[in-house]
Each structure stands twice: as structure tokens, then as C-alpha cells.
Amino acid sequence: MVSYKELGLVNTREMFAKAMKGGYAIPAYNFNNMEQLQAIIQAVVETNSPVILQVSSGARKYANQTLLRYMAQGAVEYAKELGQPNPQICLHLDHGDTFELCKSCIELGFSSVMIDGSALPYDENVALTRKVVDYAHQFDVTVEGELGVLAGIEDDVQAETHTYTDPAQVEDFVKKTGVDSLAISIGTSHGAYKFTPAQCTRNEEGVLVPPPLRFDILEEVSKRLPGFPIVLHGSSSVPQEFVKMINENGGKMPDAVGIPEEQLRKAASMSVCKINIDSDLRLAMTGTIRQYFNEHPDHFDPRQYLKPARANIKKLVQHKLVDVLGCNGKA
């Protein structure tokens, strides 16, 4: 058993309390490799921001659970080296689907876990979530639950259609499970194709404009759970500059579209304390590497193309921290 406190990590309890009071949100960035992690830590230190480092089940398999633990510990020490004396870094399991997976992550040093029973019947979701909460809270690990189902694909998580969160269920769910935060479905989606062209309109430049999020659901949930931390999954904005960069350099991502940043800003000013961002970082990395390969076909050292990719991820992360979520200066 490794305690996250030994690694210098924090859970989300105080993070979310401050975010709720201050009217901002904490980003949860999914990462899979060293360059992504370096970019995230550099950005949060330079903006003095808190951050949630998020690992999916697929990323855990890809990167190896032992390496991930030491990468998280390294991230804390790296932040200190860069000038942040008391880094506010949480290591979070994204979309844990079994008690055993959550238990394993807690024992390996994760400071927060999500148990996603949203595809189960309500009572089964409650029972599974309660079981994880009872175990996690013994070690002061925070737990995120979920009500409602997001459409789209993220690693092993797939759903063809949305099931919006029913606000009438949230009070009972939180009371029975004891979760520390709740992910809800208000129209966000996993992946880089969050909406079909038929669901969108097009602006004068021919770019897809997605439908608005269901803020009425968020407002009703907030009324029923005053002061309780709400989470949005599938909240990448899918920056069109990187979609264009990919498409102009051999890629094929027609009609990729995300959540408009102004809608995320609005959510962050309400009861949403955690906003998950994954696809944006992938797009920045892939677009930059594709462009580099086109411009430098003779290069073969991975450091040559990963360095500009890392720089673009850092720039993107800084933008999200400052201009979208408003958590800069809050570490």
C-alpha cells in the first residue's frame, strides 16, 4: 500500500471547495507519456494553478501502473524544481469501471478515483459507488460518481447516444453513495467528434457550430445540491487550428468539433469544479508532429518532433487554465 500523501499528491476535497467559492474550475488533463506530463506541469507552475492529472484504464495499461505512480511523484518534484513550493497536484483514475480497479489504483498511490456505474441500473450504480466510497474514504481518497451517459468514444468507454442526467435522482444518489463529486451529462461528448453535422449548424466559414449545452439541467442539479462539486466529462473544445494542421498534413478528420470555450467558461462560473480535457492535447500533439514530419522528412530523432509538440501542448494548457477555467493563481 502506497499513500498518495507519501508521493506529495493531494485529493480533490480542498481543491473543489476553493473552486466552488471562487467561481472557477480545475482542469483534469488526461496524459499518457512524459512529454504531455512535462507540458502540463510547466504550464501549471508558470500560471500557479492547481491541476488534476487524469489516467484512464487504457492509459494505465499503456504506460504501466508502476511507472505512472513514479511519474506522478516526479511531477510533484518537477513542479517544486520549477518554482512551485507547494504544488496542488491530484492523480485521478478516470472512468474506473470496477471496484477492483479503483482499489488497485488507491493502493498504488492515486489520490482520487472515479467509479463509473452510469451504464448500470440505478440501484446497481448506487451499490457499486457506495462500495468504492467506503473503501476509498478509509485512506482519505476522494471519489467521483456519475449519473447519466455521455455519447462518444474514449478508450474503452463507448456509447452511441446521450442519456441526460435526471436532476430528480441526484440528491438520493449523493446521499446514498457519499461521493465527493458528481459527473453529470448535459450534452458534452467523448472524443473529437462530439456532434454529427446533422446536430450542428455551420457558420459563414463553413465550420460546424454545435448545439448549446443543457444548462437548465446543470442549474436544476445545482439547486438540488447547493455547494456540491459537479464534473463535466467530454469537454475538449477540439481546437480547429490543430484539426486543420492535421488535415493539411496527411490526416483525415472531417467535421471534428468540440464544446465551445464560452460554454465551458459559463459552466466553470457555476457549480462545475472539474472539467475533463483529453482530445485537445492529443490534437495538439498529433497536428504538430504531422506538420513537423512534412517539413523535415529527413529527421528521425524523436526529440526533434516531440519538442515542438510539447511546446504546443504547454501553450494550449496555459490558455485553458487562464482564459477558459480561470484557475490561474489559485494553487
Q: Residue 203 — very low, low, confident or very high, per pLDDT cuts 50/70/90?
A: confident
- For residues 88-105, average pLDDT: 96
Per cent of the chain over pLDDT 70 is 94
What would the pLDDT profile of 242-289 be if each residue is shown by its tens digit?
999 999 999 999 888 889 999 999 999 999 999 999 999 999 999 999
Give the pLDDT confidence of 304-316 residue by residue, as tens digits. Answer: 999 999 999 999 9
Q: Is the predicted pLDDT of residue 40 greater than 60, yes or no?
A: yes
In this structure, the number of other CB atoms found within 10 A of the CB of residue 137 comes to 13
Confidence of residue 159 (pLDDT cuts 50, 70, 90): very low
Domain formed by 4-323, architecture: Alpha-Beta Barrel (3.20)
CA distance 265 to 209: 17
Q: Is the pLDDT of residue 109 over 70?
A: yes
| Rg over CA atoms, the chain | 19
Count CB neighbours of 103 within 10 A.
16
Strand extents, DSSP E, the chain: 26-30, 51-56, 89-96, 112-115, 142-147, 152-154, 157-159, 181-184, 201-202, 208-209, 230-232, 272-277
* Amino acid 162: pLDDT: 59
Are the CB atoms for 2 and 104 separated by under 8 Å?
no
Reply yes or no on whether the pLDDT at 127 is more than 50: yes
Residue 151 binned pLDDT confidence (cut-offs 50, 70, 90): low
Would you say residue 161 has pLDDT above 70?
no
Q: Confirm if 236 and 277 have CB atoms less than 8 A apart.
A: yes
pLDDT digits (tens, 9 = 90+) for 288-301: 999 999 999 999 99
The residue assigned the cell 485537445 is 280
Contact status, residue 149 vs residue 189, Cβ threshold 8 Å: no
The alpha-helical segments, DSSP class H, found in 235-278 are 240-247, 261-268
pLDDT band at 176 (very low <50, low <70, confident <90, very high): very high
**Structure confidence at residue 194 (pLDDT):** 62
Q: How far is CA 100 from CA 4, 39, 57, 64, 132, in A?
A: 18, 31, 12, 17, 9
Work out the pLDDT band at 190, boundaries 50, 70, 90: low
Look at residue 157 and tell me whether its pLDDT is greater than 70: no
Checking if the pLDDT of 153 tops 80, the result is no
Give pLDDT, residue 2: 94
Q: Which three cell numbers stand for residue 123?
A: 440501484
Q: Give the separation between CA 133 and CA 65, rounded to whole angstroms.
A: 21
CB within 8 Å of 323: residues ≥ 6 apart? 261
298 is catalytic: no
**190 φ/ψ sector (left φ>0, alpha ψ -120 to 50, else beta):** beta
Secondary element (H or E) of residue 20: helix 13-22
Mean predicted lDDT score pLDDT of the chain:
92
pLDDT digits (tens, 9 = 90+) for 206-240: 777 788 899 999 999 999 999 999 999 988 899 99
